[in-house]
């Protein structure tokens, strides 16, 4: 399944494009700015980027199509000169867009030449399925690494717990990368981001005519992940009715699409994550205890950043190199006093917040990041 990244400042445009593309059978991610796009491109091997002309496309070896509200010849020429595969004007003709997307991906297939072994787009077009390193030398992070090494080779289901921004998704990706399923799909779904009335269709797919807008059959996340790993983020936010169907899928290795009475067998390793205390949610009646026992064969707790502040110097150094590389600038020096000031901060947003702060300091500081910069900009 081809993976498409949608880069657009407009939330409504991102949602509309994502809904249509996923309906057409594409796997999608959507972001509003270039930094988030660059981050995702390092984590996910996209086959294509759809970018608004007001956004800067990340410097990666991935074909892109420009979507513009201008429609002038000059802007079209400029986009094509910058490497765009196509240039479409808004409001979009969705049929025209689908044709352009499929043509671009098919042209990528042809690049291998006649008779060449067909390689999945994800391994040919984008960067390899590179998983970022887990940074840190603290005992807490070492324990997480050791658990990954022990658990990854098995097919045991894993529940990853921890606060927002601690790196639960990164742990899930390493569990997949070190497993026997590493060559198969890693499919993620954010259970909190999908409305309760759509979650079943998202997870299990639907048949044509299952509901008003279901004009064709669509595979859900379980089928997309067949043979590989399904990462269910924020599983604690899932409705009870959806939990019951997930439980059945785990018990029987079968799912049924919405609007169908036929079972589809699936071979999927489920890794779940939550920032909630599921024991408390069970007591409140918000989460099924039987599902908890199904998904929590192994529990990996990712520590909050405030519990391993000794790793902050390494994380800061890593983020400076990475972010300066994205901006195509030399890595900035940071004063030891500035690092100490960062270590003293509470970090309620954890590693995600630290990364954003480092990027802010890189942009706003002078030639060197000082303790005064930390005090002034943080």
Question: Which pLDDT value is given to residue 74?
Answer: 61
pLDDT in tens, 317-363: 999 998 998 888 999 999 999 999 999 999 999 999 999 999 999 99
Conformational region of residue 165, where left means phi above 0, alpha means psi within -120 to 50, and beta covers everything else = left
Give ∠ CA 338-163-168 in degrees, rounded to 5: 95
Residues 260-273 as b/e (b if ≥16 CB within 10 A, e otherwise) read: beeebebebbbbbb
Question: Which pLDDT value is given to residue 126?
Answer: 30
pLDDT lower than 50: segments of the chain: 110-130
Of the candidates 226, 229, 210, the one whose C-alpha atom is nearest the C-alpha of residue 218 is: 210
Give the position of tokens 């996923």: 22
> 127: buried, middle or exposed (CB in 10 Å: 19+, 13-18, 0-12)?
middle
Helix (H, G, I), strand (E, B) or coil at 26: coil
Question: Which pLDDT value is given to residue 77?
Answer: 62
Report, in this order, helix, strand and coil percent for the chain, each rounded to 5.
45, 15, 40
| 192 close to 234: Cβ distance less than 8 angstroms | yes
- Going along the chain from its start, the domains and CATH numbers come out as 3-124 (3.40.50.2300), 139-301 (3.40.50.300), 306-377 (1.10.8.60)
Q: What is the DSSP string of 249-309?
A: HHHHSEE--BT----EE---EEEEEESS-HHHHHHHTSS-HHHHHHH-SEEEEPPPGGG-G
Helix (H, G, I), strand (E, B) or coil at 66: strand
Question: Which pLDDT value is given to residue 89?
Answer: 85
Would you say the C-alpha torsion 252, 258, 262, 265 has a positive or negative sign? negative
pLDDT in tens, 222-274: 999 999 999 999 999 999 988 998 999 999 999 988 888 889 999 999 999 99
Per-residue tokens: 22: 């996923």
Helix 312-326 × helix 350-364 angle, to 10°: 50
Question: Which pLDDT value is given to residue 72?
Answer: 61
Give every CB contact of residue 320 below 8 A, 6+ residues apart in sequence: 331, 332, 334, 358, 362, 369
Helix 336-343 × helix 350-364 angle, to 10°: 150
Question: Which pLDDT value is given to residue 152?
Answer: 95
CB-facing half-sphere around the CA of 242: CA atoms within 13 A: 21
């Amino acid at each position: 399944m081809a993976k498409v990244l949608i880069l657009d400042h407009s939330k409504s445009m991102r949602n509309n494009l994502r809904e249509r593309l996923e309906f057409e059978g594409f796997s999608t991610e959507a972001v509003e700015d270039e930094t988030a796009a660059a981050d995702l491109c390092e984590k996910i091997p996209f086959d294509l980027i759809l970018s608004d002309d007001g956004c800067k496309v990340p410097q990666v070896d991935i074909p892109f199509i420009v979507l513009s509200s201008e429609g002038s010849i000059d802007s079209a020429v400029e986009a094509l000169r910058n490497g765009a595969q196509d240039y479409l004007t808004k409001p979009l003709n969705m049929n025209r867009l689908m044709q352009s997307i499929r043509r671009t991906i098919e042209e990528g297939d042809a690049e291998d030449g006649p008779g060449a072994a067909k390689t999945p787009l994800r391994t040919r077009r984008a960067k390899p399925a590179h998983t970022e390193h887990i940074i840190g030398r603290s005992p807490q992070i070492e324990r997480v690494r050791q658990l990954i090494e022990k658990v990854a080779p098995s097919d045991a289901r894993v529940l990853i717990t921890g606060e927002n921004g601690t790196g639960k998704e990164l742990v899930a990706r390493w569990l997949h990368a070190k497993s026997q399923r590493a060559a198969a799909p890693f499919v993620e779904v954010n259970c909190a981001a999908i409305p309760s009335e759509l979650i079943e269709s998202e997870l299990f797919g639907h048949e044509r005519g299952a509901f008003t807008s279901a004009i064709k059959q669509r595979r859900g996340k379980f089928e997309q992940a067949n043979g590989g790993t399904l990462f269910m983020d924020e599983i604690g936010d899932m409705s009870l009715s959806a939990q019951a169907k997930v439980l059945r899928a785990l018990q029987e290795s079968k799912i049924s699409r919405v609007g169908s009475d036929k079972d589809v067998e699936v071979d999927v390793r489920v890794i779940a994550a939550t920032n909630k205390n599921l024991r408390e949610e069970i007591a409140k009646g918000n989460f099924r205890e039987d599902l908890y026992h199904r998904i929590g064969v192994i529990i990996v707790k990712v520590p909050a950043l405030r519990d391993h502040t000794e790793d902050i110097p390494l994380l800061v150094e890593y983020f400076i190199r990475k972010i300066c590389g994205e901006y195509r600038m030399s890595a900035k020096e940071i004063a030891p006093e500035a690092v100490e000031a960062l270590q003293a901060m509470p970090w309620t947003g954890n590693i995600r917040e630290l990364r954003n702060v480092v990027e802010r300091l890189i942009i706003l500081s002078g030639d060197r990041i000082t303790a005064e910069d930390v005090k002034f900009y943080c």
